Amino acid sequence: MSQLLALTSAALYGFADFTGGTATRRLPVWKVTAWSQLLGIPVLAVGFSLVPVERVTSADLLWGAAAGAVGIIGLAILYSTLAAGTMSIVAPISGMTAAAIPVVADLVFGTSLSTRQWFGIGLAFAAVLLVGFDRSTRSADLRLVARAVAAGTAFGLFFIMFAQTSPESGLWPLVAARATTIPIAFLAAALSRVAGPPSRADVGLLAFLGNLDMAANVAIALALQRGPLAVNAVLSSLYPAFTAVTAIIVHHERPNLRQAIGVFFALGAIVALVV
């Protein structure tokens, strides 16, 4: 069950990244980040009313707040790179980094993985590489690569921190996370002088983005509370494959052979890690 939730989060993150890329072509990155965070609260409210809560500790809330703080930094880096039109570079690098850090953490903590799970993880890494990398990726400057690694590191730490919260706490850690991210995002937007409300034409797009992102957060939070960190983090980090498929469907882009093989590998990874 937790693996299906992680896979759902990957799909939602992929669609959100595509939407975020569209939004950041029209609006400043911190306006997109701040208002999408705020406008995603309705999904959190629905999830909060549906997920049972047995016991919440201060540790659950602190881990949630810390996860939110690092997550918003990664999101801002990701969206700013999307605004530069370099999704093909940042997505695979950030996705691999976000997956690798929890895998290493699980190994350090003594968690053992089966041969099938290791095979699935290997396929997932290959899928992200094949779907995202192209000629421009290989010629990317070190600053851009560093930004992608920074975003992925933040997401990887987000996964690890949320995995420390207890299933009994329900979505309270996610409430703590959003209570942290919204002030940070609006402070950054104010310092950038872009905190004003979006136009009526942009509200719908930002609300759609915020709700996708929050739904993904709900799914991965529940997955990390209930299942293995490494497996669920890797599944969630398959989001570049979903972003690529969305671009193919919406923009009628023709996938090349490399991307087609990457999607096939992603399907193999899903079978190995979920079934």
Give the position of tokens 């703080």: 69
What stretches in the chain show pLDDT beneath 70? 82-90, 132-142, 247-248, 251-255, 275
Is residue 47 a contact partner of residue 178, using CB atoms and an 8 Å limit? no
Give residue 255's identity as a one-letter amino acid code: P
Alpha carbons 171 and 12: distance in angstroms, whole number: 18
Q: Which amino acid is at 251?
A: H
Residue 178 vs residues 16, 128, 209, 217, 218: alpha-carbon distances, Å: 17, 28, 15, 10, 11
* 55 torsion bin: left (phi>0), alpha (psi -120 to 50), beta (else): beta
Specify the pLDDT at position 99: 84
Give 139-169 pLDDT, tens digit per residue.
556 677 788 889 889 999 999 999 999 999 9
Token code pair at residue 104: 């290493």
pLDDT per position as a tens digit, 86-113: 566 667 778 888 888 888 888 887 777 7
DSSP assignment of 208-219 equals HHHHHHHHHHHH
* Residue 272 confidence (pLDDT): 78
Identify residue 20 by its one-letter amino acid code.
G
Say whether 151 sits in a helix, a strand or coil.
Answer: helix
Look at the pTM and tell me if it is higher than 0.75: yes
Cα torsion through 58, 60, 63, 65, rounded to 10: -70
Runs of H (alpha helix) within the chain: 2-23, 29-39, 41-50, 58-83, 87-108, 115-132, 135-138, 142-163, 172-191, 200-226, 229-236, 239-250, 257-274
Cα–Cα distance, 160 to 152 (Å, whole number):
12
